[in-house]
Amino acid sequence: MGAPEVRSFIGGLRDGDRGLYVSTGGFSREAMYEAARAKQHLALMDMDALARTVLEYYDHMDLNSRSLLPVRKIYWPD
Q: pLDDT tens digits for the chain (78 residues)? A: 999 999 999 999 998 999 999 999 999 999 999 999 999 999 999 999 999 999 999 999 999 999 999 988 888 887
How confident is the model at residue 73, as a pLDDT? Answer: 80
- Does residue 13 sit within a domain? yes
- Does residue 43 sit within a domain? yes
- Does residue 42 sit within a domain? yes
How confident is the model at residue 33, as a pLDDT? Answer: 96
Number of structural domains (the chain) is: 1
How confident is the model at residue 72, as a pLDDT? Answer: 85
Helix (H, G, I), strand (E, B) or coil at 18: strand
- Does residue 65 sit within a domain? no
How confident is the model at residue 78, as a pLDDT? Answer: 77
How confident is the model at residue 11, as a pLDDT? Answer: 94
From CA 24, how far away is CA 69, in angstroms rounded?
A: 16
- Give the gyration radius of the chain's Cα atoms: 16
From CA 50, how far away is CA 48, in angstroms rounded?
A: 5
Q: What is the dihedral of CA 56, 58, 61, 64, to 10 degrees?
A: 160
Residues with Cβ within 8 Å of 9's Cβ and at least 6 positions away in sequence, in order, are 19, 21, 42
| Residue-range definition of the domain harbouring residue 31 | 3-58
- Does residue 70 sit within a domain? no
